[in-house]
Copies of this chain bind each other. A is one copy, B any other.
Amino acid sequence: MNTSKKTLILFSGDLDRAMAAFIIANGAAAMGDEVTMFFTFWGLTILRKRAHEKAKGNGKSLLQKAFGAMLPVGPARLGLSRMNFGGLGAVMMRRVMRQQNVSTLAELVDTAREQGVKMVVCTMSMDVMGFRKDELIDGVEFAGVATYLGEADEANVNMFI
């Protein structure tokens, strides 16, 4: 265990929580820390690629196709954890953030990748949601909870978001 490693579990698929997670991750990486983000459940939606928005659901069960159709596709489509008002709140929040020169979530994700933040996707969540690896952005890894726990044991800050 040392103070130069952090892990974050990104369970939530909310715009605001995802932004908080990436701001922490990028802040730590900028300070020289090794950072691992573990994406599980709704958190996977952050990593979905737009190109596949209308991808056919070959090999998916009916329910998985429904998840695929109903869940947001990538950073630009996420809603807020509160005051979302059917997406209007998220539009307002994005506008205010742009006015205040806050990076967008898509930009924060790019920065994380450039800074070498390790992004690991929960394989069990992949199975449940029925997402294929090529439906997610490039450069992510796939692993289970044991891998995550191994990383957490080496870190001094571990958060569930």
Contacts and interface: CB of A to CB of B under 8 A. Distances in A.
A32 B13 CA distance: 31
- Number of this chain's copies in the assembly equals 3
Interface stretch (A50-58, A92-100, A111-119, A132-140): A92-100
Contact of A82 (B1, B42, B156): B42
A24 B9 CA distance: 11
State the majority secondary structure of interface residues on A. Answer: helix
Given A3-B153, A152-B157, A153-B3, A67 B96 contact: yes
What size tier do the contact residues of chain A reach? 35 or more
A3 B2 CA distance: 11
Given A149-B31, A152-B157, A83 B61 contact: no
Contacts of A152: 156-157
Interface string A124-161: 10011010000000000000111011001100111111
Given A27-B146, A64-B96, A102-B124, 8 more contacts: A1-B3, A9-B20, A11-B17, A24-B148, A31-B146, A100-B128, A152-B157, A160-B160
